[in-house]
Amino acid sequence: GQQVMQIPQYQHVQEGEDFTTYCNSSTTLSNIQWYKQRPGGHPVFLIQLVKSGEVKKQKRLTFQFGEAKKNSSLHITATQTTDVGTYFCVNDYKLSFGAGTTVTVRA
Amino acid sequence: DTGVSQNPRHKITKRGQNVTFRCDPISEHNRLYWYRQTLGQGPEFLTYFQNEAQLEKSRLLSDRFSAERPKGSFSTLEIQRTEQGDSAMYLCASSPWTSGSGGNYNEQFFGPGTRLTVL
């Protein structure tokens, strides 16, 4: 396996705006999972994507898995202060979680 | 509370001492993972069990670290001769897994962690 690369590492967002974080891999992924960790908290599972081109929505969060299964994205619309935290994309736990994308929100 | 629990939540120790942490997973989960997390970084894989069998250990895991899951339920992580560099949050997670899952990893449920400070 190969650790996925996630960009950006930091995202400062004005409340109400949208943003996207991306995960990229040079190899085809069997699946990808997304987690969120609030400041001072522990990672919480958000979603798993398995199928090529898969799109899943959770309220204001939209998750996509690329057609080639080499990339994934998380798009958040109308950012709220509750979206603050670090978002991780993970393929192989043995490769650890990486640094994720840390999101801060300006009210 | 039927989630993953970890004890203690905080541990302060002096360099050179041994420490042991406990993790109680969700009861029906057969996989259990240990991670270490430092400030600004994501969880770093240490080891995982399927039932009582320790299936993999990170190459980063020194011989001062040992983990057990004797009855396939709770697990312990011991660090011998602690060093200041061991200071971190130690996270435990559990997940269900069946042979029919095709090898895909199922979602992990994390505990609150044990924060270790080595003085």
For the segment A37-77, what is each residue's pLDDT rounded down to a tens digit? Answer: 999 999 999 999 999 999 999 999 999 999 999 999 999 99
What are the residues facing A56 on neighbouring strands? A63
| For residue B61, pLDDT beyond 90 | no
Pairwise CA distance, residues A64 & A71, whole Å: 8
Mean pLDDT of B29-47: 93
Contacts of B93 in chain A (CB under 8 A): 43
DSSP, collapsed to helix, strand or coil, labels residue A80 as coil
Residue A81: pLDDT band (50, 70, 90) is: very high
Contacts of B109 in chain A (CB under 8 A): 45
Nearest Cα neighbor of A33 from A88, A94, A103 is: A88
Mean pLDDT of B76-101: 90
pLDDT of B60 reads 77
Residue B100: pLDDT band (50, 70, 90) is: low
Interface residue ranges in chain A relative to chain B, Cβ cutoff 8 Å: 30-31, 33, 42-45, 48, 50, 86, 88, 92-100
Nearest CA in chain A to B114: A42
